[in-house]
């Protein structure tokens, strides 16, 4: 069993990595500071060292030199939160076996570790070869958490893992899927991912915002019309059903359809035929229907505002998209992804986020989910003149978040605190260190509060 030392000051990330590598069969030792790490390296032998280059108490490059001086043949993999070529080159000149940029997926770190351990010689290659390797990584980043086919980020949280499992499970089928979740969680991205992994991927994917279509025009939008069939019909129009024939039709905010439009939609799905407005000719259609809503459609069915037969027709399988709060372990996968998008869109080359900004991101509750995160990052990149996004570039709602009255209504202070503790523990699969991090308290304080409320965990 290979013995690995992880040096990382972010306790939550370090423990998550330790847990994953332990499951993969490695003997893992962790250290949260350079001083502690150097002590462990002197006292024990390791097959590999995985260290962060950005340590608060010591220069990462200097630590790398210390490690190689003590154990020159032990391969060292360095982690950096910013894909900075200069730093990576310097680390490899100092003897690092390889480097990896945060955020990275578990599978990718395992691959890098396996390469280091399986190498016949951990002696560094020539500097020229190392620099070429770094440059090649810049062109084709090893840490690409985005599926290049679907554009979906493969998160490392339990909620994201389950979401990806569901997508892979239902994508090859022709089942109608209802996608639910809060606004801004990425329902259309999920729908496109399902289409791109289905047997219909070579045909069209058509997305329709049902909330943006006036009920008077919905029939024409869905089924098309002939020229002159009504005032304003100046030319023939192909509807969304026809445009998506053979492929996938995604109906967003399906709950906004009027009752009359619901009847028309149900008939089209049952008969698999449509007629353009003003035409008597039936057109056969073969489309897969994916729908999305952030409303409770069952409640709408009970109220009589949404047809029950249409609900069951659309809901052969339900996928609920987790909120960003439910997958905070993936936060910096998303920030890295949106940073790259913002850089490309704005023609900038911001390298990353300051530690203060990262802390602010962790503390914020993100009511607008991924859409809000993307907007905040794009705005911050626009306002940033240096290499890293600083607190001054963040909007004030991130720095001074408002209280959420809907969460504390009808709760006493103690009840609210108890509720937040339970929520954090569930969110982190009852990992108390991670829960304390989410709650922004020490682990000791969390234990005291658990005992205070007699929580049976």
| pLDDT beyond 80 at 410 | no
What does the pLDDT look like over 173-211, one tens digit per residue?
999 999 999 999 999 999 999 999 999 999 999 999 998
In which band, very low, low, confident or very high, does the pLDDT at 414 lie, cut at 50, 70 and 90? low
pLDDT of residue 321: 94
Tell me the CA distances in angstroms from 341 to 325, 334, 335, 350, 391, one per residue in order: 22, 11, 10, 11, 20
In which band, very low, low, confident or very high, does the pLDDT at 92 lie, cut at 50, 70 and 90? confident
Angstrom distance (rounded) from CA 122 to CA 246: 53
Greater model confidence, 83 or 232: 232
In the predicted model, what is the mean pLDDT of residues 272-296? 93
What domains can you pick out in the chain, each with its CATH number? 3-139 (3.40.50.2300), 158-320 (3.40.50.300), 324-399 (1.10.8.60), 405-452 (1.10.10.60)
What does the pLDDT look like over 307-320, one tens digit per residue?
999 999 999 999 99
| pLDDT beyond 80 at 408 | no
Could you give phi then psi for residue 346, rounded to 5 degrees? Answer: -100, 0
Share of the chain above pLDDT 70, in %: 86
Could you give phi then psi for residue 221, rounded to 5 degrees? Answer: -65, -40
Could you give phi then psi for residue 411, rounded to 5 degrees? Answer: -120, 140
In the predicted model, what is the mean pLDDT of residues 248-258? 94
The first and second tokens of residue 427, run together, are 């969110």
pLDDT of residue 214: 86
Nearest alpha-carbon partner for 381 in 342, 330, 420: 342
Q: What is the largest CA-CA distance in the chain?
A: 86
How high is the mean pLDDT of the chain?
Answer: 83
| pLDDT beyond 90 at 52 | no
Q: Is residue 416 within 8 Å of 453, Cβ to Cβ?
A: no
Could you give phi then psi for residue 77, rounded to 5 degrees? Answer: -105, 130
The first and second tokens of residue 66, run together, are 């210390």
| pLDDT beyond 60 at 149 | no
For the ranges 157-166, 264-273, 352-361, 416-425, which has the lowest average pLDDT?
416-425
| pLDDT beyond 60 at 146 | no
What does the pLDDT look like over 422-444, one tens digit per residue?
888 888 778 887 787 777 677 77
Q: If you average pLDDT over each of 99-113, 234-248, 420-434, which comes out highest?
A: 234-248
In which band, very low, low, confident or very high, does the pLDDT at 28 lie, cut at 50, 70 and 90? very high
Angstrom distance (rounded) from CA 23 to CA 19: 6
The rounded Cα 2 to chain-centroid distance in angstroms is 31
């Amino acid at each position: 069993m290979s013995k690995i030392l992880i040096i990382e000051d972010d306790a939550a990330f370090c423990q998550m990595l330790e847990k994953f590598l332990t499951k993969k069969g490695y003997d893992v030792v962790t250290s949260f500071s350079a001083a502690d790490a150097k002590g462990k390296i002197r006292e024990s032998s390791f097959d590999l060292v995985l260290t962060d280059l950005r340590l608060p108490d010591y220069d990462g490059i200097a630590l790398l030199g210390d490690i190689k001086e003590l154990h020159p043949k032990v391969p060292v993999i360095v982690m950096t939160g910013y894909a900075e070529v200069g730093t990576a080159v310097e680390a490899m000149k100092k003897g690092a076996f390889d480097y990896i940029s945060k955020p990275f997926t578990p599978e990718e770190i395992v691959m890098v570790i396996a390469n280091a351990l399986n190498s016949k010689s951990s002696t560094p290659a020539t500097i020229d070869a190392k620099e070429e390797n770094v440059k090649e990584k810049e062109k084709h980043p090893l840490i690409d958490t985005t599926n290049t086919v679907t554009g979906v980020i493969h998160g490392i949280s339990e909620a994201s893992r389950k979401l990806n499992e569901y997508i892979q499970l239902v994508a090859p089928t022709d089942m109608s899927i209802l996608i639910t979740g809060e606004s801004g969680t990425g329902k259309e991205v999920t729908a496109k991912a399902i289409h791109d992994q289905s047997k219909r991927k070579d045909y069209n994917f058509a997305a329709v915002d049902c909330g943006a279509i006036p009920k008077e025009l919905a029939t024409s939008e869905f089924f098309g019309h002939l020229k002159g069939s009504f005032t304003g019909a100046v030319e023939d129009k192909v509807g969304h059903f026809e445009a998506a024939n053979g492929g996938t039709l995604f109906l967003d905010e399906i709950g906004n359809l009027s009752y009359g439009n619901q009847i028309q939609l149900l008939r089209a799905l049952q008969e698999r035929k449509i007629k353009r407005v003003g035409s008597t000719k039936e057109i056969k259609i073969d489309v897969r229907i994916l729908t999305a809503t952030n409303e409770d459609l069952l409640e709408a069915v009970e109220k009589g505002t949404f047809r029950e037969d249409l609900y069951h027709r659309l809901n052969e399988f339900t996928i609920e998209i987790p909120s960003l709060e439910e997958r905070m372990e993936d936060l910096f996968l998303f920030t890295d992804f949106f940073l790259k998008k913002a850089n490309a869109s704005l023609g900038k080359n911001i390298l990353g986020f300051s530690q203060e900004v990262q802390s602010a991101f962790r503390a914020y509750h993100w009511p607008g989910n991924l859409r809000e995160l993307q907007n905040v990052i794009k705005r911050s990149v626009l306002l940033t003149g240096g290499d890293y996004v600083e607190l001054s570039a963040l909007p004030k709602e991130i720095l001074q978040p408002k209280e959420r009255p809907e969460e504390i209504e009808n709760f006493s202070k103690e009840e609210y605190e108890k509720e937040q503790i339970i929520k954090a523990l569930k969110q982190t699969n009852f990992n108390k260190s991670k829960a304390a991090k989410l709650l922004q308290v020490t682990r000791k304080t969390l234990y005291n509060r658990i005992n205070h409320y007699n929580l049976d965990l």
